[in-house]
């Protein structure tokens, strides 16, 4: 299948063709020349004079879309009746809805779910607040909270424009882990106001998933909410990325026969995700980790206005290396990119240690394109779906929240993140593992099951679980 088909950009063109003036091959040729691929043809009506057809056309970008439509419009004997963008059609009215778990068919049903009988349930919760977990949606519900300030690939587009992303995230929660999630986009980018708002809405939720909130505010928001709430708060852009990254690195290191305790790791881009990825690697035993940002290597001999960087410097770069990325990548076993596209060169990779591992995760353009170093890297991973080994947060947050909801955890700690990474990595057996397959598919149903079990075990061991499910391997939150 052509790559355009995989990218998901497509339109449906309904056109009317006068058969004496034009042949379908001419239409197909114009569409192809404009950058489109016809992937489906549906005949709506036809007679000897006129044919009406729906053409589903895949394309790469918006410019191709415009060229395709204009090219067809210029053809003699062709009239465009309608153009429908399949992605926009999918979003009409939003992508999620709320449905009742039981029908209300008579007065008795009405009295049980609402007045007067519901008052007894309210009173029970008032007397014992913990019953909210068993008697309301709190037991299986997560708030997906964003201010739209750092939407992946789009930047600060605001809360309304961020809503489709948060709806999509809610769909993934439900699809992969049976978790009910609500998108909550806040019309403020004030740190204190976000904290107050999330705290105010928290009684109805069993967990908070922070999403697409810009750095460095995201650090303070997550820290404060974790301190002041008794339910887990998880900034997925930081920790979801970190968990999946470490899962991939576990398998990559196995392939090259190296241990995390011994390898030199260079992390490029010390923002929210870079700090979280470094933290999980340090927790896993990494001892030779160096962070690099625009100003060069982060080192404890320097003074930083950014408190996060000061703390980072104190815990990394033990050999006090200085200089640019090009300087510190020499002899590195692992490169982890969380910065910007085309930052790394083939020559840089050639200076790395034998069997280099490169995780170039900038999106949509990696720090270096895989084709440039295919012959010299042992393992390559990116953040893109059109290359092998995609580092995708979807592998983490559904299973993570399935676990913490089921054990009613009060927080998500580092031990639970390490357990989640081990679970993802273990979904690939020794026999299956190759340089092109170190990360399981998001559709691998073993991932959520394994993560649920391992994360709950870690939560229990670290004392943050308020209950132990009767069956560790059971899905769906029912116990």
pLDDT (tens digit, 9 = 90+) per residue, 89-133?
888 889 999 999 999 999 999 999 999 999 999 999 999 999 999
User: Do the beta carbons of residue 416 and residue 453 sit within 8 Å?
Assistant: no
> Residues 341-346: what's their mean pLDDT?
94
- pLDDT for 154 equals 86
Residue 114 annotated to the active site = yes
- pLDDT for 3 equals 39
- pLDDT for 476 equals 45
User: Do the beta carbons of residue 142 and residue 171 sit within 8 Å?
Assistant: no
Band (pLDDT 50/70/90 cuts) for residue 63 is low
User: Do the beta carbons of residue 138 and residue 205 sit within 8 Å?
Assistant: yes
195 three-class SS: helix
More confident residue, 9 or 204: 204
User: Comparing 124-128, 133-137, 276-280, 302-306, which segment has the lowest mean pLDDT?
Assistant: 302-306
User: Do the beta carbons of residue 56 and residue 86 sit within 8 Å?
Assistant: yes
Residue 304 annotated to the active site = no
> Residues 383-408: what's their mean pLDDT?
94
Residue partners of 238: CB distance under 8 A and separation at least 6? 218, 222, 272, 273, 275, 276
> Residues 374-398: what's their mean pLDDT?
94
The arrangement of strands across the sheet holding 334-337 comes to: 296-297, 288-293, 264-268, 334-337, 357-360, 379-382
Band (pLDDT 50/70/90 cuts) for residue 139 is very high
* Cα–Cα dist 162/151, whole Å: 7
H-only helix segments in 351-429: 370-373, 397-406, 414-426
- pLDDT for 479 equals 42
User: Do the beta carbons of residue 427 and residue 446 sit within 8 Å?
Assistant: yes
Band (pLDDT 50/70/90 cuts) for residue 85 is confident
Give the percent of the chain with pLDDT over 90: 80
Q: Which residues pair with 290 in a beta bridge?
A: 266
Q: What is the mean pLDDT of the chain?
A: 92
Q: Which residues pair with 182 in a beta bridge?
A: 143
- pLDDT for 362 equals 92
* Cα–Cα dist 246/249, whole Å: 5
- pLDDT for 386 equals 85
pLDDT at 275 over 90: yes
Neighbours of 128 (CB within 10 A): 10
182 three-class SS: strand
* Cα–Cα dist 334/416, whole Å: 24
- pLDDT for 1 equals 35
Q: How far is CA 322 from CA 287, 307, 317, 349, in A?
A: 17, 19, 9, 18
> Residues 311-325: what's their mean pLDDT?
96
User: Comparing 174-178, 320-324, 404-408, 469-473, which segment has the lowest mean pLDDT?
Assistant: 469-473
- pLDDT for 478 equals 43
pLDDT at 399 over 90: yes
> Residues 363-387: what's their mean pLDDT?
93
Q: Which of 23, 67, 101, 114 is catalytic?
A: 114
- pLDDT for 471 equals 62
User: Do the beta carbons of residue 377 and residue 351 sit within 8 Å?
Assistant: no
Give the percent of the chain with pLDDT over 70: 96
Band (pLDDT 50/70/90 cuts) for residue 298 is very high
Q: Which of 67, 138, 169, 449 is catalytic?
A: 169
Q: CA nearest 184: which of 144, 141, 139, 150?
A: 144
Count CA within 13 A, CB hemisphere, residue 352. Answer: 28
pLDDT at 377 over 70: yes
> Residues 226-248: what's their mean pLDDT?
96
User: Do the beta carbons of residue 402 and residue 381 sit within 8 Å?
Assistant: no
- pLDDT for 249 equals 98
Q: CA nearest 443: which of 420, 455, 422, 427?
A: 427
- pLDDT for 8 equals 55
pLDDT at 66 over 70: yes
* Cα–Cα dist 458/255, whole Å: 27
- Going by the DSSP 8-state scheme, the letter that residue 318 receives in this structure is T
């Amino acid at each position: 299948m052509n790559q355009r088909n995989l990218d998901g950009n497509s339109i449906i063109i309904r056109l009317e063709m006068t058969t004496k003036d034009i042949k379908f091959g001419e239409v197909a040729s114009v569409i192809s020349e404009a950058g489109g691929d016809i992937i489906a043809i549906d005949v709506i009506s036809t007679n000897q004079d006129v044919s009406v057809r729906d053409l589903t056309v895949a394309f790469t970008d918006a410019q191709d879309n415009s060229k395709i439509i204009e090219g067809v419009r210029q053809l003699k004997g062709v009239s465009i009746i309608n153009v429908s963008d399949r992605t926009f059609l999918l979003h009409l009215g939003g992508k999620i809805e709320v449905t009742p778990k039981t029908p209300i068919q008579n007065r008795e049903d009405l009295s049980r779910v609402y007045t007067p009988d519901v008052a007894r349930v309210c009173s029970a919760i008032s007397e014992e607040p913990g019953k909210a977990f068993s008697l309301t949606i709190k037991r299986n519900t997560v708030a997906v909270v964003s201010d739209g300030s750092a939407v992946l690939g789009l930047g600060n587009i605001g809360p309304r424009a961020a809503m489709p992303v948060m709806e999509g995230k809610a769909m993934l929660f439900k699809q992969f882990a049976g978790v009910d999630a609500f998108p909550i986009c806040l019309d403020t980018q004030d740190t204190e106001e976000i904290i107050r708002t999330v705290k105010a809405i928290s009684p109805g939720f069993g967990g908070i998933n922070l999403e697409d909130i810009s750095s460095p505010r995201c650090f303070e928001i997550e820290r404060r909410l974790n301190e002041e709430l008794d339910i887990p708060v998880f900034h997925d852009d930081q920790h979801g990325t970190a968990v999946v990254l470490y899962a991939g690195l576990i398998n990559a290191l196995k392939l090259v026969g190296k241990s995390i305790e011994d390898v030199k790791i260079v992390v490029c881009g010390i923002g929210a995700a870079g700090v979280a990825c470094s933290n999980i690697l340090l927790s896993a035993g990494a001892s030779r980790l160096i962070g690099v940002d625009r100003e060069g290597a982060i080192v404890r001999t320097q003074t930083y206005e950014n408190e996060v960087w000061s703390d980072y410097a104190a815990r990394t770069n033990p050999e006090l290396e200085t200089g640019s990325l090009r300087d510190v990548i020499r002899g590195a076993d692992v490169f982890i990119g969380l910065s910007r596209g085309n930052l790394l060169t083939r020559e840089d990779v050639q200076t790395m240690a034998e069997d280099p591992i490169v995780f170039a995760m900038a999106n949509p353009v990696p720090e270096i394109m895989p084709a440039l170093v295919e012959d010299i890297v042992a393992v390559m991973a990116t953040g893109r779906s059109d290359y092998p080994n995609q580092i995708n947060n979807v592998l983490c947050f559904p299973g993570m929240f399935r676990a913490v909801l089921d054990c009613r955890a009060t927080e998500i700690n580092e031990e639970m993140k390490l357990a989640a990474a081990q679970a993802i990595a273990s979904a690939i057996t020794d026999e299956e593992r190759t340089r092109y397959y170190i990360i399981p598919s998001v559709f691998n149903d073993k991932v959520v099951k394994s993560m649920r079990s391992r994360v709950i075990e870690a939560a229990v061991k670290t004392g943050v679980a308020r209950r132990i499910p009767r069956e560790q391997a059971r899905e769906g939150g029912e116990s």
